[in-house]
């Protein structure tokens, strides 16, 4: 079985695959101060919660945007599974041409999203990843990683509003019943939610225009708020919450790991 780990700034998505089948998945809180020892204990209990044996894990693949945690996950793989983790970066996906000026600066999560979207939806395509940052990643008809857009994430922007607005309490980020709120809470929910939807749609349209893409191309959303945003979006065509971990699995398989 493969343990696929996507380490984000706020959350870590963990998936357990048996072949191509996603057997279990978890969303864990990311902490930049976690140690390999802590991760070893945590993952022992995560696996035991579903009756999975550590001995059954024959591979560990990690995509991480938190450099300080990457060596800790290497430690986890060695201590708990007696395996070397495959850490995904631009060198791990040699069959994906990267058009960035500095390919080493592209996050592993963006690369595995590109690999996964091409495998499942074809090319060209756009991935909208709604996490700590909202990112758009573009793959061309020639199956190249063309680059993309990085914007503040929905929760990140909302937290700035809560922090700097003295009279603004925190609200749940969700689709409100009306665009025009009749309370401060409703008004904030409308602004946060529909502002995010409009921002995504505007960015997708700008990318399509600039790159002369077919407006009907696949635009696939992933991340914790993907389903909610997609319901109101005019440009998102599909939601795939397992896109990133499936991309990790595909990179693992193409690397010829057992």
Provide the greatest CA pair distance for the chain: 58
Q: What is the reported pLDDT for 200?
A: 96
Q: Does the bond joining 124 to the residue before it have cis omega, within 30 degrees of 0? A: yes
Q: What is the reported pLDDT for 258?
A: 55
Please report whether residue 255 resides in a domain: no
pLDDT along the chain (258 residues), means of 10: 93 94 92 91 93 91 94 95 94 93 94 97 97 93 96 79 60 81 85 92 97 96 91 96 96 82
Q: What is the reported pLDDT for 126?
A: 98
Please report whether residue 195 resides in a domain: yes
Q: What is the reported pLDDT for 169?
A: 57
Q: What is the reported pLDDT for 157?
A: 75
DSSP one-letter string for 130-141: ESSEEEEEEE-T
Side-chain-side CA neighbours of residue 220 (13 Å): 26
Please report whether residue 258 resides in a domain: no
Contact assessment for residue 108 and residue 73, using Cβ atoms and an 8 Å cutoff: no
Q: What is the reported pLDDT for 170?
A: 66
Report how far residue 73's alpha carbon sits from residue 56's, in angstroms, rounded to the nearest whole number. 18
Which CATH number do you get for residue 165? 3.30.420.40
Q: What is the reported pLDDT for 257?
A: 65
Report how far residue 193's alpha carbon sits from residue 170's, in angstroms, rounded to the nearest whole number. 14
Burial class, 85, CB count within 10 angstroms (exposed 0-12 / middle 13-18 / buried 19+) = buried
Selecting among 82, 84, 109, 129, the annotated active-site residue is 109
Q: What is the reported pLDDT for 162?
A: 64
Residues 195 and 226 grouped into a single domain = yes
Domain that holds residue 163: 91-246
Residues 47 and 13 grouped into a single domain = yes
Domains identified in the chain, total number: 2
Q: Is 109 a catalytic residue?
A: yes
């Amino acid at each position: 079985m493969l343990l696929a780990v996507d380490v984000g700034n706020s959350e870590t998505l963990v998936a357990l695959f048996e072949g191509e089948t996603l057997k279990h998945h978890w969303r864990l809180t990311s902490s930049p101060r976690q140690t390999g020892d802590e991760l070893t204990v945590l993952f022992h209990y995560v696996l035991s919660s579903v009756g999975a044996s550590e001995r059954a894990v024959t591979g560990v693949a990690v995509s991480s945007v938190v450099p300080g945690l990457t060596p800790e996950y290497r430690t986890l793989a060695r201590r708990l599974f007696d395996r070397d983790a495959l850490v995904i970066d631009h060198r791990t996906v040699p069959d994906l041409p990267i058009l960035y000026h500095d390919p080493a600066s592209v996050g592993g999560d963006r690369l595995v999203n590109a690999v996964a979207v091409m495998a499942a939806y074809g090319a060209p395509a756009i991935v909208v990843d709604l996490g700590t940052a909202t990112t758009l990643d573009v793959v061309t008809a020639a199956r190249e990683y063309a680059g993309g857009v990085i914007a503040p994430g929905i929760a990140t922007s909302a937290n700035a509003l809560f922090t700097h607005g003295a009279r603004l309490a925190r609200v749940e980020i969700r689709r409100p019943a009306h665009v025009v709120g009749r309370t401060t809470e409703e008004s904030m929910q409308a602004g946060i939610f529909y502002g995010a939807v409009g921002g995504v749609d505007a960015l997708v349209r700008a990318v399509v225009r600039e790159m002369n893409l077919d407006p009907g191309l696949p635009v696939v959303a992933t991340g914790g708020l993907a389903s909610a945003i997609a319901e109101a979006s005019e440009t998102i065509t599909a939601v795939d919450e397992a896109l990133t971990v499936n991309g990790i699995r595909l990179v693992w398989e193409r690397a010829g790991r057992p």
